[in-house]
Amino acid sequence: MTGDCIVLEKVNRFFGPAHVLKDINLRVPRGEIYGLLGPSGCGKTTAVKIIAGILEASSGEARVLGEKMPQLRLMNRIGYMAQSDALYTALSAEENLRFFGAVYGLRKSELRRRVAEVTELVNLTADLQKKTRDYSGGMKRRLSLALALLHRPPVLLLDEPTVGIDPLLRRDIWRELHRLAAGGVTILLTTHVMDEAEKCHRLAMMRAGTLLAQGSYGELLAETGAAAIEEAFLYYGEKQDES
């Protein structure tokens, strides 16, 4: 299928008097990796939670796979990796995976196969029997990513997926994300790491609850005449300050 998989139209979000998202318009084509790039506190996580159906927009509309969010029946079609790891720490990694796999309705044989596949991808096979309370922060992030991938969802929402992950494993994860996108999976991820921007098909730069600019890595550099994405980000920020 072609077209836009994720759509935000004039989305605003308030927390009390705080205006956290301001008229956000966003379209994510199917089968692409779309990066939300910006500093901590700029609204990236709030936007992802609205797309995932965890939060509701104060105004405007969010749609995923043509459905207005929040929509409970889309749970099995979205893989969500939160910024903070939502794990049962008294359980082992394998027990966490089997529990969530059962929630997603995976049959035993498929679940067994998927547990092996996703744990190999994130390099946790040797640590499957450890209680997750004994995991390091980086290991918890890797397990959270494995959980998001477990049920082969057509949409992946990943909030800072590579934080705390070593460079070699990060390379492997990005390779897998591109393989998934080539197979039709739509991936929206947040990052404040500028060197990950080039790995995305398209980017949206965010600051203080607003979208500064959208486009491919090459388009954003060409439009600003910048040599690096950091320079482009500063250019758009200064342009916003002038307006």
Sign of CA dihedral 230, 79, 186, 75: negative
CB distance 141 to 127 below 8 Å = no
51 part of a folded domain: no
Cα separation, 25 vs 135, in Å, equals: 38
54 part of a folded domain: no
Cα separation, 181 vs 175, in Å, equals: 10
Specify the DSSP class assigned to residue 149: H
19 part of a folded domain: no
52 part of a folded domain: no
210 part of a folded domain: yes
In this prediction, residue 2 carries a pLDDT of: 58
pTM confidence score: 0.94
- Expressed as residue numbers, the domain containing 146 is 31-42+73-242
CB distance 236 to 224 below 8 Å = yes
| Kind plus residue range of the DSSP H or E element containing 113 | helix 108-121
95 part of a folded domain: yes
Half-sphere exposure of 108 (CA within 13 A, CB side): 0
207 part of a folded domain: yes
**How many domains does the chain divide into?**
1
pLDDT in tens, 197-239: 899 999 999 999 999 999 999 999 999 999 999 999 999 999 9
Cα separation, 235 vs 238, in Å, equals: 5
Hey, what are 122's tokens?
């994130």
pLDDT in tens, 51-68: 999 999 999 999 999 999
pLDDT in tens, 72-99: 889 899 999 998 888 999 999 999 999 9
| CATH number, position 235 | 3.40.50.300
18 part of a folded domain: no
